[in-house]
């Protein structure tokens, strides 16, 4: 089984798959008031429909073996880990046929919001330390029903993520 090392999340390495912003450690210009500093529009996306803000709970597996992947043809997915750092695995868009040999994994710090671009292969995030990851998923309402293609990987396509 192929093994991939989870990489540190950087803008350069993650750019082919999406973007991200550390919400708990904002940087750059801010609008200031007596009691606040507001950092507008650090991560943006346009959705022409209602959004769903959905919690996800993911148990820490003994081994991080990826056996299936998914993609959305019409929307990016936004995820933010709430109680732990998380690992996301991604692979380039590929017209419906998975390309696990091109998969990469990234360690996303807690409270860093990531956007996975439309058609990028991925699946649920995984906890780094906690027994169960708590994360926020932002997608158009009912994407899981209307625009989610899940593909089971053949045994020879499966891979393990290591830290």
41-75 pLDDT, tens digit each: 999 999 889 999 999 999 999 999 999 999 999 99
Contact 20, 43 (CB under 8 A): yes
The rounded percent of the chain whose pLDDT value lies above 70 is: 100
76-115 pLDDT, tens digit each: 999 999 999 999 999 999 988 999 999 999 999 999 999 9
C-alpha span between 73 and 151 (Å, rounded):
14
The rounded percent of the chain whose pLDDT value lies above 90 is: 96
pLDDT at residue number 154: 97
Q: What pTM, to 2 d.p., does this model score?
A: 0.95
Of 55, 56, 116, 127, nearest in space to 87 by CA: 127
pLDDT at residue number 102: 98
Average pLDDT over residues 125-136: 98
C-alpha span between 163 and 144 (Å, rounded):
29
pLDDT at residue number 121: 98
Q: Give me the CATH number covering residue 115.
A: 2.60.120.480
Place of tokens 């995820």: 79
DSSP, collapsed to helix, strand or coil, labels residue 79 as: strand
pLDDT at residue number 161: 98
Residues of the domain holding 136: 2-162
Q: Quote the Cα angle for 13-129-136, to 5°.
A: 70
pLDDT at residue number 92: 98
Count structural domains, the chain. Answer: 1
Q: What is the DSSP letter of 45?
A: -
pLDDT at residue number 103: 98
């Amino acid at each position: 089984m192929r093994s991939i090392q989870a990489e540190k999340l950087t803008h350069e390495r993650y750019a082919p798959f999406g973007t991200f912003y550390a919400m708990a450690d904002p940087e750059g210009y801010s609008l200031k008031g007596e009691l606040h500093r507001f950092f507008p529009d650090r991560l943006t996306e346009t959705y022409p429909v209602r959004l769903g803000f959905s919690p996800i709970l993911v148990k820490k597996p003994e081994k991080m073996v990826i056996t299936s992947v998914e993609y959305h043809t019409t929307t990016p997915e936004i995820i933010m880990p709430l109680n732990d750092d998380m690992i996301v695995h991604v692979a380039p868009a590929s017209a419906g046929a998975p390309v696990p040999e091109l998969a990469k994994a990234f360690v996303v710090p807690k409270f860093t919001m990531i956007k996975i671009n439309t058609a990028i292969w991925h699946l649920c995030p995984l906890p780094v330390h906690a027994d169960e990851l708590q994360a926020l998923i932002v997608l158009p309402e009912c994407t899981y029903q209307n625009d989610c293609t899940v593909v089971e990987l053949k045994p020879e396509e499966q891979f393990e993520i290591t830290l």
